[in-house]
Amino acid sequence: MQPYEIIKAKRDGQPLDPGDIRRFLAAYTQGEIPDYQMSALLMAIFFRGLSAAELAAWADAMLRSGEVLDLSETPGVKVDKHSTGGVGDKVSLCLAPLVAACGVPVPMVSGRGLGHTGGTLDKLESIPGFKVGLSTAEYRRLVHEVGCCLIGQTETLAPADKKLYALRDVTATVECIPLIASSIMSKKLAEGIDALVLDVKVGSGAFMKTLPDARTLAKTMMGIGQAMGRRVVALLTDMEQPLGRTVGNALEVIEAQDVLRGRGPADLTECTYALGAEMLVLGKVASGVHEARAMLRRAVEDGAGLAKWRQIIERQGGDPRVVDDESLLPGAKGEAVLEAAAGGHLCTVDTEAVGRAAVELGAGRLRKEDAIDPAVGFTLLKRVGDRVEKGEPLVRIHFNREDKVEPVKARLTASLKLGHVAPEARPLILERLA
């Protein structure tokens, strides 16, 4: 079929032939199909969806649009974790070294901040010298020698996704479950993993605001992975408030190091252990999550996780002294405090709005080409359910631009709702799918 006929078929809800899907995506990646025809097809998919057979062909074509790395020279089951994105989600920074210290190789290709959500690459780059733009050969060597490597998507890994993502971003076709699932899974499967743990975030700070949507996304991603012979487990986790106490790149590195020292906040530690335990079981170094959690705890207590983190930083060109001297990380010039205007309980947090406030402060990007400020961000001093007295500090704002403080305070004030009755506590891990 010609591109026109494929677009028309999807528009009219007729099934697409897997071969046509492969040829369409391959031709688009090669520049033989223009953006306007791909945009039309994406919008038709947005409204019509993809059947299981179409999705399998679509995801496979995305994966095969570039290099699929082979890490078989490294012994063991290679396991990665992917989060669908949230606010204050710095789990990868403490999880990857902990899991690697327990003997499971972790090849991790991560992303940058997207919209209101932070990105692992931006957090890593707040460490002076840390390089995320390694070649695939260096990546393979570090996975082999260190047991972990954290890089960004290269030109050769799933190039169809790189092109498609930029197009979706400007054609209002991002929020589409089959397109999100194939985008994420094509990158993850290209990095050379044997198994994957998905952290699908749910709530006001996540792309999926409801449990049913998050469940559908998780199942769609699991289906793609399983069809390609990979074991995939998903945890649906709460994003109704930022994870941990900090939002902002260098601040989040410090907090991840706190987890590695055994003094991280309870929610961040629990999220790290829950995901890490699944990784150790998939990696076949633990027979169950109970044993796996004990291994992770031991790697914190005996300092093996922190030592692995130092090694990762050093081998990726960063200054490992930041682990023991956090003043070597970028620090903000000033601090301001948002105080509670009234007493009560913290009832809800519009977490997406907190993420957008962090972007306004400089911790994220408004446009793709914007530089981020690694030093700025928030320390959240109260969690949902906490009692707050009038005038008590709610948020510490770490700023470099004084003119941003008042607008950011206004955004934060609007996003933190106080009330008289403490809300019921929500579990952090909402569901496990396997």
Instruction: Tell me if 184 contacts ligand URA by CB under 6 A.
Output: yes
Query: Is residue 79 helix, strand or coil?
Result: strand
Inter-CA distances, 165 with 35, 66, 106, 353, 387, Å: 12, 15, 25, 23, 43
| Residue from 33, 44, 180, 260 binding ligand URA (CB under 6 A) | 180
Which is the catalytic residue, given 65, 92, 183, 204?
183
Residue 64 annotated to the active site: no
Q: Which of residues 72-131 bind ligand URA (CB under 6 A)?
A: 111
Burial 77-91 (b: 16+ CB within 10 A, else e): bbbbbbbbbbbbbbb
- Residues 303 and 166: their CA atoms lie apart, in Å, by 41
- Residues 351 and 43: their CA atoms lie apart, in Å, by 28
Size of the site for ligand URA (CB under 6 A): 7
Residue 168 annotated to the active site: yes
For the chain, report the end-to-end CA distance as a whole number of angstroms: 38
Residues 127-166: x where in contact with ligand URA by CB under 6 A, - otherwise, as a string = --------------------------------------x-
Tokens 């400089």 locate to 362
Which is the catalytic residue, given 161, 267, 350, 373?
161
Which is the catalytic residue, given 64, 90, 140, 187?
187
- Residues 361 and 87: their CA atoms lie apart, in Å, by 14
With CB under 6 A as the contact rule, which of the stretches 69-77, 136-144, 180-188, 341-349 interacts with ligand URA? 180-188
Residues 316-335: x where in contact with ligand URA by CB under 6 A, - otherwise, as a string = --------------------
| 415, 357 Cβ separation under 8 angstroms | yes
With CB under 6 A as the contact rule, which of the stretches 15-23, 72-80, 121-129, 177-185 interacts with ligand URA? 177-185
With CB under 6 A as the contact rule, which of the stretches 176-184, 230-238, 270-278, 334-342 interacts with ligand URA? 176-184
Strand 416-419 and strand 344-349: pairing?
antiparallel
Instruction: Tell me if 183 contacts ligand URA by CB under 6 A.
Output: yes
Helix runs in 302-388, H state only: 304-315, 351-361
Instruction: Tell me if 296 contacts ligand URA by CB under 6 A.
Output: no
With CB under 6 A as the contact rule, which of the stretches 12-20, 179-187, 217-225, 235-243 interacts with ligand URA? 179-187
Instruction: Tell me if 234 contacts ligand URA by CB under 6 A.
Output: no
Which is the catalytic residue, given 78, 81, 82, 90?
82
Min CB(236)–ligand URA separation in Å? 16
Min CB(165)–ligand URA separation in Å? 6
| 41, 12 Cβ separation under 8 angstroms | no
Q: In what order do the strands lie in the sheet with 393-399?
A: 246-247, 377-380, 393-399, 334-339
Residues 365-384: x where in contact with ligand URA by CB under 6 A, - otherwise, as a string = --------------------
Q: How many other CB atoms sit within 10 Å of the CB of residue 23?
A: 17
Q: How many other CB atoms sit within 10 Å of the CB of residue 371?
A: 7
Which is the catalytic residue, given 64, 78, 168, 188?
168
Active site amino acids: 82, 161, 168, 183, 187
Binding site for ligand URA (CB under 6 A): 111, 165, 174, 179-180, 183-184
